[in-house]
Amino acid sequence: MEPVVFLAALLIFVGIPAVTVLKLARLRAARPQSPSADVTARLEEVERGVQDLRHELAETQERLDFTERLLSKAREERRIGD
């Protein structure tokens, strides 16, 4: 095969599609992506759920700390009483 024919075939079958793919990728990357209203609503719902869980966890930790202090105090009183 002649080098000129080979280069032309290479350009047609590889070069042009590659350039097209690169142009499309650049256009897609430059286009701002905004989530749909459904996705936004679902994300806000998940965020509210996470905030609720954080609040519940904080309350549970406070109760656990209080219980640990009571148990520690009771053990200390039993040790002193023995």
Residues 6+ apart with CB under 8 A from 35: 43
For 23-31, what is the mean pLDDT? 81
pLDDT over 90 at 76, yes or no: no
At 53-75, the pLDDT tens digits run 999 999 999 999 999 999 999 88
Residue 48 Cα distances to 23, 34, 69, angstroms: 40, 21, 32
* pLDDT of res. 10: 61
Can you give the pTM of this predicted structure?
Answer: 0.52
* pLDDT of res. 82: 64
* pLDDT of res. 29: 79
* pLDDT of res. 74: 86
